[in-house]
Structure 1
Amino acid sequence: MANPDSQTFHWRHDELEDKNFQIRGRTLYFIIVLFAVVISITLLFIYLRWICRFSSSSSAAVSHTVTLSPRQQPLSRSHGLDSSVIDSLPITLYHRSETAGDGECCICLGMFEEGEKVKVLPNCFHGYHCECVDKWLTTHSTCPICRDTIRVYSPV
């Protein structure tokens, strides 16, 4: 049954090694270019992240030092104001005849009633219901309408 022409198959360890494997011409060029592009994009990404992190921290520091006079202290933190600062904001009674606005709280969209307590922000003079603006200021340090930073003026 065995055919004399058939050859048995033998695995030899030295046949598994490919000593003739070579990378030539275009293939080597494309591998080098691809590697250089990947490295360049990685370095660019790292550089842009560093620039964004550096510029956001330095611009915040510069804006506070440039825009504030020595008599002003920012009350703002990145996540809202202290409750003592919120309580120190002026509260007035709403009178329809004295206001030029439409008499609406822009946070809850409710109308102010005659004689109702309204908290007025010191820089922009926007008025809100006390409960509405107090909730807002615990998480934000800006006016809900104009986004002006709330500042306290210390006496000299």
Structure 2
Amino acid sequence: MASSSSSNIFQWDFTLLNHASFHSYSRGLFLLLIFFTILFFVIILSLYARWLCSHRLRRRVSAAAAGVSSSGLDRDSIDSLPIIILQTNSNGKGNKNKCNYIEESECSICLGVFEEIEKLKVLPECNHAYHSECVDKWLSSQSSCPLCRASLSPVIAPSNHA
């Protein structure tokens, strides 16, 4: 009897196999395969879109670096701006007032206070004053006043008579 019970353990009973559950399992596997295929294509499509956007951005940056489009002023225009030397005037009471047409007491680019006998550049459109070095750096990349954004492109024309 012991030998017959041990032989029953390794025997398969194929009559108990339910074909209906096998069919639903294969349907679930098929739906899972479709889901992962769609997910794969969405990921590939998003990676391609990201690559395409970065490729276009790189082309724009390289075109700007090649000098196709620059928003700053050229060196001659920047050098044609008037340079003044800041001097203070003493009135009778001993108060010192800045120049008559300069209202600022500090450079709005570097936030440094204007000192006596200092070179300043005054922008012709708006009369805002800045340290000469500060505004030169600014105008090499921007063509407007740093404070009020007044455009300097039509005002400044390089001198062609030399």
After TM superposition, the score normalised by the length of structure 1 is 0.48
> Considering only CA atoms, is the larger Rg found in Structure 1 or Structure 2?
2
After TM superposition, the score normalised by the length of structure 2 is 0.47
Of the two structures, which has the highest relative contact order with CA contacts closer than 8 Å and spacing of 6 or more? 1
